[in-house]
Chain A
Amino acid sequence: PQPLEQEHHFHIVEVSSLLPATDVEGCNPSPKGNKKGNSLEVRHKHGPCSSSTLESDKESRPSHVEILENDEKRVDSIRERVKPKSVEVDSVTDHKKAPKKDRVKQKAVGLPVKSGSTIGSGNFIVTIGLGTPKKDLSLIFDTGSDFTWTQCEPCKRSCYKQKDPVFNPSESSTYTNITCTSTLCSEVRSATSAKPGCAGSTCVYGIQYGDSSFSVGFLAKDTLTLGSSYDTIPNFYFGCGENNQGLFGGSAGLIGLGRNQLSVMSQCATKYGQVFSYCLPSKASSTGHLTFGKGGTSSKSITYTPLLSGSAGASFYFIDLQGLSVGGQKLSIQPTVFTQGGVLIDSGTVITRLPPDAYSALQAAFNKAMSKYPKAPALSILDTCFDLSKYTTVTVPKIGLQFGGKAEIVLPAAGIFYVKDISQVCLAFAGNGDASD
């Protein structure tokens, strides 16, 4: 490419800048982090900014291969949830028993038993306050699921290790259990993909994730407190987990920002108008924000694309991806390639998946533009990898995504690669196995 064209359509990046943060760097909170009162600081679950709250989790940090394998499990769960189906957990009324996979009944022939499970947890955490007086809890934030839950004393069956003190309902003056006859109890089914149970008169939820992690406990309500301005949401419905097991990374539970009536977004609709925004920290050693309400972004140049809603996967945020470009060249991809299975955005998925034909086109164009660099072995699901160990700077084609409403985003260099180490730098996209996924 000519110099001017190169500047427009290629990133020229120092290889060292692609490397992920390490603990040695410590935590450097982003100066752009939103400081508004209705804003929560977003931290990576395993990064140095989490060390003050999740120190005990360091030894359980996953490897890169484990991160990618867990990501595949999450995406498998999303694929199954988006497909039309009818499944139910036959009973979660006994909270002393885990909702094991073999208890998920199939009603649609040929579907895998895991199709009733919801997606695995994401990588980013925020701290909220719960109860009166409020107790601070670090929860995984997730736009791809709906149900908010935290571990609760007395942990009748099991609680995994978390850094924050476990929430104790008996110490909150505003805590209330929800009865089985409440309409909110029936809403649990769509929020958790599992039919709620009943213990005495109390509604019992059960939620199982794609990696077999789960939480079972009481549906409850209490006061939720958000941000430095201590915005309060009275009567916030959540799960008070008495039996919790899985890879939640030392967090106290999960906050669901999906589209279901029980999600935080829906429950806070009156206060924040069904608008929220986030920025994921650009390095694990930095911080981002999760902000409720309008005006939460630090950037003035927001490009919008319509949100789509479909009958399948009603909890998810579907968007209208129409095309891809590499190095300024639009790829030849039929528009129906993207509409066949649909496209959704999810804060908890690490690697963007593309339909097979779209991924093939992206891979071919990217390989062509990167042909001067030696290839490297595949890393789990990532099959387009390069050895950049002999370079101090590299020229990388910009990747653009075109959305409905004439919106386009061009990914920064950090959004193009997943870097295991400098000798194995991989294109951070993967192909779906089926065109209808």
Chain B
Amino acid sequence: FVLTQGNPRWEKTDLTYRIENYTPDLSEAEVDHAIEKAFQLWSNVTPLTFTKLPAGQADIMISFVRGDHHDNSPFDGSGGNLAHAFQPGPGIGGDAHFDEDERWTNNYRDYNLYRVAAHELGHSLGLSHSTDIGALMYPNYIFSGDVQLAQDDINGIQTIYGPSKNPTQPTGSQTPEVCDSKLTFDAITTIRGELMFFKDRFYMRANSVYPEVELNFISVFWPSLPSGIEAAYELAERDEIRFFKGSKYWAVLGQDVLRGYPKDIHSSFGFPRTVKHIDAAVSEEDTGKTYFFVANKYWRYDEYKRSMDAGYPKMIAHDFPGIGHKVDAVFKKDGFFYFFHGTRQYKFDAKTKRILSLQKANSWFNC
């Protein structure tokens, strides 16, 4: 996080705000609600309180304006610059301006007013832009489905104002650090020749073209997928990726989530009702066999016959000796299985049933 140069802050904790005018894109009640929720994010984690004034001069004046609106920082039409806000202080200090040339929404379509307001109010309170892509104070617009303060945002605002008096204040999500030696994964899949790693709300992507590991929100590709994906596999011959969470699964083709999903794993694959979720999954392109790992057992599913093979489940330890009794994630590449459990990664040769190497889970990120 970054505090604004000069560390400007409000010297009082009971602040006021007023919405000077309304965008025609939403009802006044929807605008009021979005702004109120945005203030609540910050008051939940600090001693600050925010009171809405119906008229007169408030500490934080909120308005929808376009083009040159005489604050020395003209807007630029639709796209580009969406909004801006001034650091704490008298007069224009703390004020937030939203570009009326944008379309303001209360859903995942561009641009979600709640999401942008949460960011701008961070500026109104003394925060600058954060380099943490998972933080609300990251400068570029990314709507990840839910609007929540990341731990980075909380650390920043509490550096200025301290914690809230409410003992049950929320903690924030942590953005994965690709070179953190303690990094673990929720799911991993091959995808059109690349590898995609999943953790909480984020994906990480390593490809040969660009050495830097790409990290961003899963919602950038698939807005309707939930965070916390538990398993994923590529069905290469149909160019599909299947994502699993709980007893549901989704199928995507490129960036499109296929219609009719999510579906239920029991009716689709024939799992017994005792199976509540899948830990990991991988499909072999050459045999059409998909392996599902659940606790210390695994099932084998025939994608051609679309039914579970007989004699399953079997014990993981029996057919994949040495990789332990639980799998977080798995993929197959160049004929070998790569099993992940915690920070460990096992390269496994199914022909000889032997582990060929043991590595750190994030060894693919060239740290």
Chains A and B form a bound pair: no
Q: Which residues does B use to contact A, with CB under 8 Å?
A: none
